[in-house]
Structure 1
């Protein structure tokens, strides 16, 4: 794998990262449940249904709607990456970027919007790898800005962790630092109210477990996956793929 491919792979992975979303918490519980279901099932429909519900919600102001809608669109980006569905990416990318720019025009230090923009650049690079050398540094700079604005932003810590986990060592990769960053992200999620109902918390646990695996700490990986399954027993990615994988690796040693 060459350097450009490695950078592109990193930003592909970043698409699944967690984001701290104080504004989205104001949407209805029905919409939050659609977010959660969309992540767990890796299906497109719940994210689209969430956008419909958000547009119909007259209790939200313009910025709140933009935050909520960009959350659902980010979910659709994750769906597009998982299914290699470039048509879905093409359908939402420009609108998502425009909405994020509007949010950042109102508040240039909105850590959530900064992190989402970094995710969008990640999707762009995954479908258009030739743009990685240009968008890669911009995406990492956005993560730095998000952390400067909000040091306890769980998403920014996960994104930094993924940078250290998937970037080649010669370009700044560091597995030990990745583990530390994932641990911080989980810690910051667990400090939030109702964190167990947030799909992004589950996602951060899944990535922490994988970081433990890559750093040759299988017992910690298993404990982390067990923790995720205690929160959500139907977490298929962990239950049917990640947990069996680390158990198999451990038994072969």
Structure 2
């Protein structure tokens, strides 16, 4: 594997996995690094090179890397191999060895799941909307359909935007309080009427409430570390035309 790749792992996950940073890729310019987003305006062949490097680092052929057309849904699908074409969903699960499940993010939460007893893994893209609508619970349901038990599942949230960098308006709080008044604990006061939302804290709450055996966040903030991570919000603030996508992957 290319020695320049930087892969964040968690000792809590028994399955082979990696939260890849932007380091070690072939992309240049605003995408500089390991941009794995086919939906970006980066050169298609360069993105393919980056994705092949990820597959190699995870010990599989490029065609074993399975991703989705992510749409901020609460849809999780089981896979046994490459998909026939773009599939709109936001989580993947498998009990098939050698299939590399991956999600793409640039501030949203990448969440990797593993039940080492039942030998079932999953990967979810969980922004605030998907998390509210139930993508994390849907992933667990899909894993259980393959024989997993949520009490045996470890779920790890990878690099995502931290509360310190996630400024929102009061209407955002209203949306979360409408679901559960207790959600106000995931918001801190900012300047004026601005608030700061704790996305990974909320993600951990949803996972633990759903009954996972273990849930944690790696502690990395995408917004605050531009040398290692892409960030949609940072790109927006900088007025850049597009942004790269980080990849997070897991396999049996």
TM-score range for the pair, normalised by the shorter chain length: 0.3 to 0.5
- Give the TM-score taking structure 1 as reference length: 0.35
| Higher strand content, 1 or 2 | 2
| Higher helix content, 1 or 2 | 1
- Give the TM-score taking structure 2 as reference length: 0.35
User: Greater relative contact order: 1 or 2 (C-alpha under 8 angstroms, separation 6 or more)?
Assistant: 2
